[in-house]
Chains A and B, each alone.
Chain A
Amino acid sequence: MDYCILIAKSLTHAQRMVRLLAQCGIRATAFRAGSSLTQRGCGYAVRIRADRWDEAQRCLDRAELHPLDVVWRKGES
């Protein structure tokens, strides 16, 4: 399954995105992300299924809660 990884500004930002996406019916998981993802050292990111991205984007846009960056990953479990 393909995934979409939303890079967060902070843990709190990641938690807010997870909560908001859940309210929009999208399953999302926050996790610690390494430098290879964040480019800034330790950080947090949110993982969702790639096929939910369009819906997730609309949901986050409505709340003006934007990820720092979006990374696409193929076949992650």
Chain B
Amino acid sequence: MLYFDAAATTLEKPESVGRAMARASREMTSPGRGGHRAARLAEETAFACRTEAGALFGAAPEQVIFTSNATHGLNIAIDTLVRPDSRVIVSGYEHNAVMRPLYAIPGVQITVASAPLFAPQETVEAFERAIGKGADAVIVNHISNVFGTIQPVDEIAALCRRYGVPLIVDASQSAGALPVDLKGWGAAFVGLPGHKGLYGPQGTGLLLCGVPGEPLLFGGTGSASLEKGMPESLPDRLEAGTHNMPGIAGLLEGIRFVQRTGIRRIAEHERAMIQRIVKRLASWEGIRVFAAEDPQRQGGVLSFTVEGMDSEQVASALARHGVAVRAGLHCAPLAHQTAGTLPDGTVRISVSAFSTAQNADRLCEILWQILHENVTD
């Protein structure tokens, strides 16, 4: 299979990830649940993961919360900061992991800081106009999961600090591919998955907490057991129940892979893969490619549409030829509304550190055949 769906889940992982998961399944229980060897091993592994993730993302170890995915963390963040009738500003490219939790809170006034794709200055201006009118929280994704547009988070974070508005960053597509800096941004929360650019397994994620969060789950933490409420201190406050130690052990190895390889090198590789594909597709008739004029403004995600073909039809034809991409709305209808690609959405190609030029070329050849030779079987 030619795998180009890394924005959903990176399928190709470092071998050390699987080995660590297998070892954890055999040898570890859960941190904070005993003084025996299996618990101590779990404690050491979880602490190493918090410490190394924290070093990568500008957070102290106790500010790194284990979650089951980015959605879980973003729900905690939104539940903490957004109340009924709160005023919240979002970018025009947010995922349903942000929008649905907001829609679920009665009376929330959502302002979309709408700006064209790959237009950082206009994006910052849209946020400034909206923040200037008052807000209880700002939420922005670092890289759009649909179009790969890199949002000017440094500048938006500076606006939030200036106006004293808490910031939530959805780093689902950027963690492992761009610098993510909880402390530098002064963000209230940063949510990120373990199973995409950090090359960990599904069922893992991290919430970086710049402020104390409100728990979504209540239960045992292995600490302060006599107290009726959840402990006040992090990370225990937000981590009720037994930990996913195989997942955490795998995530730790994924993070180590990113550290060894280097975020800048991964970003350059992904950019090179996307540009290689863009150069081929952009000259074809009947295809609309959403590519940034400045490649530095785009992450490892590329969307396109085909005249006269539904995006799902294109993706299905590619799948029949052994190519994995994603089609449709990518759980981000707001992004399509902003970019004008409703109701059919787009076909999305997304790459990782494991994508190769050879596979990128093969993808283009197969797509050419499908589009120009009417080969759909």
Contacts and interface: CB of A to CB of B under 8 A. Distances in A.
Interface of A: 9-13, 15-16, 19, 31-32, 35, 38-44
Given A9-B231, A12-B234, 19 more contacts: A9-B233, A10-B32, A10-B62, A10-B231, A10-B233, A10-B236, A11-B31, A11-B47, A13-B62, A15-B43, A16-B61, A32-B34, A38-B224, A40-B225, A41-B224, A41-B226, A42-B225, A44-B32, A44-B223
B226 A40 contact: yes
Contacts of A12: 47, 50, 61-62, 234-236
B227 interface: yes
Contacts of B233: 9-10, 13
Interface of B: 31-32, 34-35, 43, 47, 50-51, 60-62, 221-227, 231-236
A20 to B, nearest CB: 11
Contact of B226 (A31, A35, A44): A35
A21 to B, nearest CB: 15
A11 B225 contact: no
A51 to B, nearest CB: 26
Contacts of B51: 19
B63 to A, nearest CB: 10
17 contacts: A10-B62, A10-B234, A11-B223, A11-B236, A12-B61, A12-B234, A12-B236, A13-B62, A15-B61, A32-B35, A35-B226, A38-B224, A40-B223, A40-B224, A42-B223, A43-B223, A44-B223
B61 A10 contact: no
A43 to B, nearest CB: 5
What is the predominant secondary structure among interface residues of chain A facing chain B? Answer: mixed
Nearest to B39: A32
B56 to A, nearest CB: 17
Nearest to A11: B32
A15 B35 contact: no
B22 to A, nearest CB: 24
B51 to A, nearest CB: 8
Nearest to A16: B61
A8 B98 CA distance: 35
Contacts of B232: 9
Contacts of B50: 12
Best-buried of A10, A12, A19, A43 by chain B (most CB within 10 Å): A12
Contacts of A43: 223-224
Contacts of A39: 226
A39 to B, nearest CB: 8
A61 B232 CA distance: 21
A11 B61 contact: no
B325 to A, nearest CB: 40
A39 B224 CA distance: 8
